[in-house]
Homo-oligomer: A and B are copies of this chain.
């Protein structure tokens, strides 16, 4: 039999969540965001962003740690790479900036695993696709999702303008209305892994 890649997961209660100062978004509206994206595209070319899928166990089922802004907007921790930046190092930098405690010794040892999916933004618009559409020779953004293997216990510090919520695969699945197309496809992307829940 072909063996499945294994992901060890630990109970949500193993992790400690503290607060840190707010990390304000650079843009307050979608229009601002797309305008800034256009400007940066002219300066730096295609944006590459990297995001982390952090898996914990709760109620006997894998849950994903997701940042919630306000009541309705959800996003994975991560962000834009600097021009030429290595994507693994860039994702570690972004995770520390978004979720790392202020005390460097407490920052989790981010173990960046497999790239599990990629999404493309063909135009300066909100919509992304899990492929680069035909006839699009100059996509505006490529977003890569990585599985990040958490340690048995870790400290996270969450900016006060976010909540960090654990959302189950069955809440995400087939639910683009609430979570958008990228997040609601995570269950499919992770279906090839065997989750090994470690009770500690």
Contacts and interface: CB of A to CB of B under 8 A. Distances in A.
Contact of A173 (B115, B118, B129, B190): B129
Q: Majority SS of interface residues in chain A?
A: mixed
A133 interface: yes
Interface string A111-134: 000111111000000000111011
B131 A170 contact: yes
B117 A2 contact: no
A134 B61 contact: yes
Interface in A134-189: 134-135, 168-170, 173-174, 181, 185, 187-189
Given A130-B173, A169-B131, A116 B192 contact: yes
A4 interface: yes
Contacts of A133: 61, 170
Interface in A49-70: 59-62
A132 B119 CA distance: 26
A1 interface: yes
A131 B87 contact: no
